[in-house]
Amino acid sequence: MPPHLRLLYSGLMAGFLVLAGLPVVRELARPRDIWWTPKALMIPLDQGRDRVEIYARGRSLGALLEAGQLRVGEGSGSTVLSKSDIGLRLNNSDRVRAERLPVLLGSAAMCGVLGTLLLLVATERLGYRGERTSA
């Protein structure tokens, strides 16, 4: 393979390798806490029952709040907590990562294929060498 074609194909494959690797690098460099529900959008305790249950000493938090058995100490006194005082922040990272897994696996596979092809082209292992005649 002529050197200028080898350089062209190597450059193309290196470019495609970078493009295929970007989603993988982006996922690995992402902060781990970005999938938590923002504090301003916390959901009330009743709306979070399908995703989380909170217990204290074997009794559910909702039952303790309805019975008025939870108090918060503030300075010299304490106040009884109500259901509206409790908010939940949920971590959605497991759901988001499960949705992104096929794309990341595809990108990783393409990185492997393109890296192999780049290595083969750059070292002239993929070039046409003509037929050999045995005499």
**Per-residue pLDDT tens digits for 82-112:** 888 888 887 777 777 788 889 889 888 988 9
Considering only CA atoms, give the Rg of the chain.
Answer: 29
The domain ranges of the chain are: 1-34+93-135, 37-90
Can you tell me the distance from the alpha carbon of 27 to that of 94, in angstroms, rounded to the nearest whole number?
13
Tokens of 115: 């890296």
If one compares 117 and 93, the residue with the highest pLDDT of the two is: 117
Can you tell me the distance from the alpha carbon of 114 to that of 108, in angstroms, rounded to the nearest whole number?
10
At residue 135, the pLDDT reads 59
Helix (H, G, I), strand (E, B) or coil at 84: helix
At residue 1, the pLDDT reads 66
pTM: 0.48
**Per-residue pLDDT tens digits for 12-70:** 888 888 888 888 888 888 877 777 778 888 888 888 777 788 888 888 888 888 888 88
pLDDT surpasses 80 at 3: no
What distance, in Å, lies between the first and last C-alpha atoms of the chain? 26
At residue 130, the pLDDT reads 64
**Contact 80/68 with Cβ under 8 angstroms?**
yes
Can you tell me the distance from the alpha carbon of 85 to that of 130, in angstroms, rounded to the nearest whole number?
80
pLDDT surpasses 70 at 120: yes
